[in-house]
Amino acid sequence: MKEEIENEADSFWAKGSFSETVSSEELKEKIKTLHKKSNEDMDFICRKCNRKISAHNKDWHAGMCDDCFHKEYFEKD
């Protein structure tokens, strides 16, 4: 049973997971862009490839364009 619980806990951090800690003030600001599309407010730059990114990507995709975000968090070996 203990081994099953440990395996379940490990699965949270499995390939394809992304999480970050933010303060309550940061969260209030990020909530404003939660429902924006990836092509709205293209006023920011991807921190990996320097392409223009949206406010949503800045706040919810670790400051990366969709391609870089998916490569970073979902295409790892």
Count other C-beta atoms under 10 Å from residue 70's C-beta.
Answer: 13
- Please write the tens of the pLDDT for every residue from 6-50: 555 556 656 667 778 889 999 888 888 888 887 888 999 999 999
Q: Which residues of 36-68 are buried (b: 16+ CB within 10 A; e: fewer)?
A: eeeeeeeebebebeeeebbbbbbbbbbbbbbeb
pLDDT at 57 over 60: yes
- Which of these ranges, 26-35, 47-56, 63-72, has the smallest mean pLDDT? 26-35
Q: What does pTM read for this prediction? A: 0.65
Question: Looking at residue 49, what is its pLDDT?
Answer: 98
